Amino acid sequence: MATAFHNLSDYDPESVPNAEAMRFGIVVSEWNSKVTGALMQGAVDTLKQNGCPEANINVLTVPGSFELVFGASQMVKSGKYDAVIAIGCVVRGDTPHFDYICEGTTEGLALLNKEYDVPVIYGLLTCNNMEQAEMRAGGSLGNKGDECAVTAIKMVDYKARLARL
């Protein structure tokens, strides 16, 4: 488990570009809202701590993790955002539903990154139990939302640097 060796909230602030002029869309699953709410708050706080004005952050919800693909797609297509962060949480149950949701959502978000010119950041927790999810949503392993926000900032900066070459 990679997070056993790295806290999700640990990052070198000096390595993160200033996000003052960046615009972010965050699409959040309502399912497992205790976890996804904490992830979303971590992402928003980290964006703001790195210079992004609150007015440049737009958070919208979708019913479940599978709907993150449509929600992120609509944000990307709107042209309003420099990056989109997709936040969800799927916890393994007794049926193969977990596998289908995780695979479909992962493939859909990956396809958006391939097909469009806006980075879509993968913030889907896929956990075996709720304890694992809570540990990654501000618990002992940090907050995946923090990591997603840093990734979003760095990807927007990457695109800008590439355009200057």
Catalytic residues: 97
**Exposed, middle or buried, 63 (CB in 10 Å: 0-12/13-18/19+)?**
exposed
Strands ordered across the beta sheet of 120-127? 57-62, 24-29, 83-91, 120-127
Task: Using alpha carbons, list the distances in angstroms from residue 31 to 1, 87, 90, 106, 128.
Answer: 24, 10, 8, 16, 16
Q: Which residue has the tokens 């955002």?
A: 81
| Amino acid identity at 149 | A
Distance between CA 57 and CA 44 in Å, rounded? Answer: 7
What is the CB neighbour count within 10 angstroms for residue 5? Answer: 6
